[in-house]
Structure 1
């Protein structure tokens, strides 16, 4: 193990993860912990928090990628930031093992209090070819890649003469009919339709969009009649919605489907683009700790957001967000627990910070987390959306406005809100930018070509 002498030796609040929970916990603790002689430390391999509800709009080009993330350095001035991953925790000794992001030797970091805020990762299944052909929609990098790939496929396909290859290039598939899947496919379809209008070698009918959902309905967060409207609206736009259907194989870009009712084959076709949005799971790093874990791989916590075992809460151990199983005291959560969404994560983070200060420094009282889910909003492309707010259903333009309004306010930090909203205004005035950025995976291509001596023509 490498030495940790380069880090502060003050009593540490270790925050594992810099997402919703990590950012808000650190922001609300940093000054007060510092004033009491301690330090807040955030460990995350990324230098920013990603506002994941904006990823479909980043993929569709209506939000600049940088505006959908929040810099840790900019907003956590009094926090010790470590670029790396916590790969193990021994709470019995109050130590964590950190693996630096640059691949350096792991080292141990001691702490007084720990906050498990590691979030969730994409949940996948052992489907042949999925790892090779698919991509998720969980990170800003994935969203940027999807925007560029869809636009590149459209431009490239417009020059193809092989009809089979052209059809494959213009086929875009999303697996998963939850909020993430619906927003992703509708936002990208909206962008693709606009891009095709700018290319006189293609027409909308050349594009094929397919959504695959294993259940018999989409978006369980909204009312059944709203879910039916979503499917009807998508089909009117030419998007194929395959319910009760699962992906059986994706080897070589050949997608084979299976009917979930009788497990019979449900057809096959080729596609160059396969986006996986079929759920999330708690970050598996929690299994490398001595914390109590439930049967779904989440850290067990009580309503005070303390990590809790069979013998009660663990001293100095806290958890919130997607990585934790927090009881939903309102009775509205699935299985009795808070659902994994940004709404709960942000509110739990603020409550956790107050509870930790109350427990450690006597500032106020420890209070149980209680929040009734306000509902859900989803964008489905420009001026289209669906929402269920406090039991009141909306669709179309009103829902789209509610979606923009809610997420514009929920985006952390005023400067980020301003950047996002100003981008929306710019798009409204000038229209969407359909320029794809090429060679992001090989940025040295132009330099290497310029620096490589030209080959002399062969002698005749």
Structure 2
């Protein structure tokens, strides 16, 4: 880094991170004294709301990702996993791999948008055996597991074993859980025609939700509609319940309140998808930065207390809604809004202007709850059924950067209207873990 330059480093390539660099580029496009650096573990932006559609075969995996280098104009991109953050030394350390030494990246200003990781609440057996829905690899692995269960159950004559193969448990009744359950049920029903030995009553999709309703955030009327529509699709919804253990063969489900409270049921299943709970990324959890509820504590400007010029946005930022007095939910809309505020306040800080408070006005919420059906609140109106489904598609299609990717996803959706699902099963390799960074190891300082 040249001595006369000031460097802004953005950590994370999700909606918050990429949204922030695009806004920063608009501010400093012609400023040669400002250098913008984006660091992300993956070299693409993932449209996470569409992961369930990849798991069901509705959308092609490569069509919901956009290369970050295609988004960057002025920004320097570096692919790497953040190991630690040193706010006093103003340096971000990246993990080394088997072939590359660790790297320390110096910064003058920092935006932390590392998102979150799945929280298993200390249940090691669940963590070991459950599937998650956070990454593109997760969606592909779940789809392959589903097809594998269909293939194996076709030649399984023991009804108990066959039932366990065709029972799928989704933990969490939020957006991710309900949309995953709906897409999974659609895939199973559509694919069943290729498996003459499997009847519809052999298939079971169970949603386990600890709260009294699914998809919290919607009003009571929409929540009831969603519950009815999901149940009508044949999905078994267990409210006020929690999974307390899973060994890969059996899931223990405990009733938390209401009739039968305290009772525990064992469900035989080979597939459990965990979408309940998030925790801070390791680099945040292991840092000296102040956290609460697994998130970075920020002020009304999204700046970290005690560290001027360090901001946080997206799922990793604990930002309280002044109206509800509760944290804003981890959604793409809020991540993008926080990214714009963080970028604007960085610009104000560099230009010695007044910073602006984060002020979010919800445009609405929407979720897909089954085949060509959804629920939405938009501009103060409640929308259900087919038109909510159309609204969801239009909204998230518009969030995909680049015309090419939007057309490809639109073609995927159009093809689904006329042709059946592809039941091919492809092997997916797990991404190898990088070697952990150590303070004593040799590293480059950039």
Paired residue for 2:106, among 107, 110, 113?
110
CA contact (8 A) 1:83 1:101 kept: no
The residue aligned with 2:410 is 421
Contact 1:306 1:319 in 2 (8 A): yes
Equivalent residue, structure 1, for 2:423: 435
TM-superposed CA distance for 1:68, in Å, is: 1.4
2:137–2:430 contact (8 Å) kept in structure 1:
no
Aligned 8 A contact 2:85 2:283 in 1: no
Aligned-residue CA RMSD (Å): 2.3
**Tell me, which stretches of 5 or more residues in structure 2 are unaligned?**
432-446
Secondary structure of residue in 1 paired with 2:347:
helix
Q: Which runs of 5+ in 1 are unaligned?
A: 1-6, 444-460
SS at match of 1:367: coil
CA–CA distance in 1 between the matches of 2:24 and 2:17?
11
Separation (CA, whole Å) in 2 of partners of 1:110 and 1:216: 47
Q: Paired residue for 2:318, among 322, 325, 342?
A: 325
- 1:306 corresponds in structure 2 to 303
CA deviation after TM superposition for structure 1 residue 11, in Å? 2.7
Q: Which residue of 2 aligns with 1:344?
A: 334
2:31 corresponds to 1:28: no
The 1-side partners of 2:150 and 2:409 are apart by 27
Q: Secondary structure at the match of 1:412?
A: coil
1:229-286 Cα deviation digits (max 9, x unpaired)? 2222222222111112111221241112212127533321211110001122332421
Answer yes or no: is 1:354 the counterpart of 2:344.
yes
Cα offset for 1:33? 5.7
Task: Give the CA deviation at 1:190.
Answer: 0.8
Indicate how the Cα distance of structure 1 residues 263 and 162 shifts in structure 2: closer, same or farther if over 3 A, else same.
Answer: same
Relative to the length of structure 1, the TM-score reads 0.86
Structure 1 runs, 4 residues or longer, greater than 6 Å off: none
- Listed as ranges, the matches of 1:29-178 within 5 Å are 29-30=24-25, 32=28, 35-100=31-96, 104-127=100-123, 129-178=125-174
TM-score w.r.t. the length of structure 2 is 0.89
Point out the structure with max Rg over C-alpha. Answer: 1
Contact 2:211 2:239 in 1 (8 A): yes
Per-residue CA deviations over 1:151-174 (Å, capped at 9, x if unaligned) read 221122112222222111111110
Report how many aligned residue pairs link the two structures.
427
| Shift of residue 39, structure 1, vs aligned partner | 1.8
RCO comparison, higher one (Cα < 8 Å, 6+): 2
Pick aligned residue for 2:7 from 6, 12, 30: 12
Q: Distance in 2 between matches of 1:172 and 1:426?
A: 27
Deviation at 1:29, TM superposition (A): 2.1
Paired residue secondary structure (1:35): coil
- Among 260, 263, 269, the residue aligned to 1:265: 263
**C-alpha distance in structure 1 between counterparts of 2:121 and 2:400, whole Å:** 32
The yes-or-no answer on 1:405 pairing with 2:394 is yes
